A and B are shown apart, each in its own frame.
Chain A
Amino acid sequence: GAVVSQHPSWVICKSGTSVKIECRSLDFQATTMFWYRQFPKQSLMLMATSNEGSKATYEQGVEKDKFLINHASLTLSTLTVTSAHPEDSSFYICSAGTGSQPQHFGDGTRLSIL
């Protein structure tokens, strides 16, 4: 079945550092990828829709300058958390799919900012 790879699985870094998370569709081309954030024991919250070759569409309340999204190819989208602070610590997960097919999710990235 479709596979989505997300890297890194976890990262710990100092406050003020920028962190890049990659999401790759390994066996299909994804014109659209999605980035979610999940706090402990809560549901997934959609942050933005990543569109290949164009600007991402951010959900209300998500800071565009804080969470930079780039979708340079049909198989890769990146989320960069700029100048990360402890409140940015969370579980970030991406998904990808083609058309009406079910989305497939990466394994997620646990981000801890010290």
Chain B
Amino acid sequence: AQKITQTQPGMFVQEKEAVTLDCTYDTSDPSYGLFWYKQPSSGEMIFLIYQGSYDQQNATEGRYSLNFQKARKSANLVISASQLGDSAMYFCAMRETSGTYKYIFGTGTRLKVLA
């Protein structure tokens, strides 16, 4: 069965510093997708970054990058130059690449950026 694990319930980071949020996954499927979403206190889910299992390079989107280590089954999110507005809940998710494309979410990491 597919599984996503986020072991950090909460993280603190100083403004302007970088932070890494951990995510490990487990699947027997050779083809899968990995995602990170941000959920502010207002509740909406904001898509940040995507990594496909066959992608050779780590995904990057502005200040977000995904450190994809396939052999270790990890997909950590790196946020560079943290901003106060980055304070939120962050969810890692894995998606089936066939059938319904449904997501499995991790338990989330609450990030607090300190001024």
Contacts and interface: CB of A to CB of B under 8 A. Distances in A.
Interface of B: 33, 35, 37, 42-47, 50, 91, 95, 97, 100-108
A100 B101 contact: yes
A104 B48 CA distance: 11
Most buried by B among A93, A99, A103, A104: A103
A43 B109 CA distance: 10
Contacts of B104: 46
Contact of B43 (A34, A91, A95): A91
Given A44-B45, A46-B104, 7 more contacts: A43-B106, A93-B43, A97-B101, A103-B47, A104-B47, A108-B43, A108-B45
Contact of B45 (A46, A49, A95, A97): A95
Main secondary structure of the interface of A (DSSP, over half): strand
A52 interface: no
20 contacts: A32-B101, A34-B103, A42-B107, A43-B91, A43-B106, A44-B45, A44-B91, A44-B103, A44-B105, A46-B102, A49-B100, A93-B45, A95-B103, A97-B101, A100-B101, A103-B95, A104-B47, A106-B44, A108-B43, A110-B43
